[in-house]
Structure 1
Amino acid sequence: MKKSLFLTVLTTVSLGLIGCKAVNTANTSAMSNIITDIPASAASEKAEGAVMPVNNTFSPEATETAGWKGAYKKVLADFANSESFTDHSTWDLQDIDNDGTPELLISEAQQHVTGVIFYYYDNEKAMPILNSDRQILRYGAYGSLLICPEEGLFGIADINQGNNYTVMHKYKDHSLSFVQRTCENSGAVGKENASYKVNDDTVSEEEYDSAVNEFESKNWKNVGNQYSFDDLSALK
């Protein structure tokens, strides 16, 4: 049975979860911390509103730069002067949907429960990707996530306290739609007592392995946490 689920990328599945309860529990409580734009998940406390300005010192050079680079520089400057900015905040550029213009990824911090904020460039403006409640989307953990640009996919995988999880979403038209999640708990309760779930359904071990194989077949790339806020070299 596959258990090598991209160990370098961890979800924010609740640290106290013991055993693979119905995946709808992981979806409504634990998954609410890793994604905030699917109907079954709830926005995290930090995702309840936009960042509030404070007087930090970050001031990027040449915010007048034309096009998406200039727009993203302004977003970084605004974020650095907000309450969400920390000494461990980082950013990245990734063309997630293969349209020729990269998305801006901002990692607020690198704790387990901290995901990534996304901006795309449209009509000469940097626009945030929002969740279904029209709040800023946060996705991932430790300030990173998996992407598969050729298929426009977001993904996260975790092995946590004997529980194995994966989750996958489709990124299209600057929003996410749910694709699949898996869960099994043999490491917590033993192989003989293990339960296997795909989405909200209890399945056989063979069906679970098939779903995990589908997740692992993607050409995943681990992204986020690429640049410090002192390094704007990618935007010159």
Structure 2
Amino acid sequence: MRSTKCQLMVASLCVALLGLSIATLSTVTCYGLHFSIISNAALESSSYRAIHHTAFYAGVFLSMTLILAALLSAAATVRESRCLTATAFFCFALAFCGMILALCWRYVHSTEVEDSMLDVYDLVYEEVRRNGSSSKRHELTLIHEVFQCCGKHSPLGDTAAVQHTMCHPGTAWAAGQDCLQEIHGFLKKHMGFVSTLLGITIGFTVYGMVLTSFLWFSIHFSNNLERKGKYTLRGR
């Protein structure tokens, strides 16, 4: 019993820190410079905007659930309350289901996020290429500055004019790298970090579910043992 309580307190602290990490990552994904630049350049009907906002709200929901589970499990450990322990177990289970769904979506739709970001850049780039005075010119310049790239390799050709006006000396384009490659590399690193964080959090969530269920049964049976053999005398 004492060992379980100590382990649950440590696990609660780790889960709370992981919840804060997911909240921070969700905020960076929503308001980070790389993602916000693409979101501002995307059309209202773009699939990237829907993915962008869904990822933020899902991350906030998971982080709040994890932090709540950590607080409830810590309180249940201190007070030895079956009600708090059961509620903490439910929060752990809810967070576990949410993260499993997130990981499944991550691997089933592994290219959807990348394709939506690249489509936004392609649309902005092609509009500036067709119309040099387009309002998208400023957005294209911002994308180039944030991702430290310029232009793209196009099988259709006719990109020299855009690269001459939009690429500064010493940019990544001079080394043979284009913005599509830079966006792909950035997103691959980001999604790899997301998958790693979710995997670690799932492990601690399962550990928390095991500990809270064991603590609940320990409290339940210890209460029954304390009541066993006790009698109450009634007056006539």
**TM-score normalised to the size of structure 1?**
0.28
User: Would you tell me which structure has more strand in proportion to its own residues?
Assistant: 1
Structure with more relative contact order (C-alpha pairs < 8 Å, separation 6 or more): 2
User: Would you tell me which structure has more helix in proportion to its own residues?
Assistant: 2
| Bigger Rg, which one | 2
